[in-house]
Amino acid sequence: NAGVMQNPRHLVRRRGQEARLRCSPMKGHSHVYWYRQLPEEGLKFMVYLQKENIIDESGMPKERFSAEFPKEGPSILRIQQVVRGDSAAYFCASSANTAGRTDTQYFGPGTRLTVL
């Protein structure tokens, strides 16, 4: 009964490169959320997706960041032309498909992005 899986666990990029972060939700979950955690801070919401749809991207920076959750395969958070300020831990969470808001979000181990 695997939990939320994220890879890679650690990612090092130079300024200007692209970063691709992957998230596979728990089995049976069709809602995925991405959060960013800066050192010594709480998590900040970025984007909420269901299969093939972006539901809420109000926390996503307007430029360089994009997310997808295709019909097949993991959810991808893509950061183009990374800058040092993008260095953070990026967490993915998933929840089951229900009509209410009472579902628990279960988090993956995170991807720690370091931009040199």
Partner 1 sequence: AQSVAQPEDQVNVAEGNPLTVKCTYSVSGNPYLFWYVQYPNRGLQFLLKYITGDNLVKGSYGFEAEFNKSQTSFHLKKPSALVSDSALYFCAVRDNHAGANNLFFGTGTRLTVIP
Q: List residues near partner 1 by CB under 8 A.
A: 4, 6, 31, 33, 35, 40-45, 48, 55-56, 58-59, 91, 93, 95, 101-102, 104-110, 112
Closer Cβ to partner 1, 50 or 81, answer by number: 50
Nearer to partner 1, 81 or 97 (CB): 97
CB of 12 to partner 1, least distance (A): 16
Other Cβ atoms within 10 Å of 45 Cβ, number: 15
* Closest-CA residue to 77 (of 47, 50, 98): 47
Q: Which two tokens stand for residue 93?
A: 């969470």
- Nearest residue to 94 via CA among 44, 40, 51, 41: 51
Tokens of 4: 């939320």
Nearest-approach distance from CB 81 to partner 1, in angstroms: 26
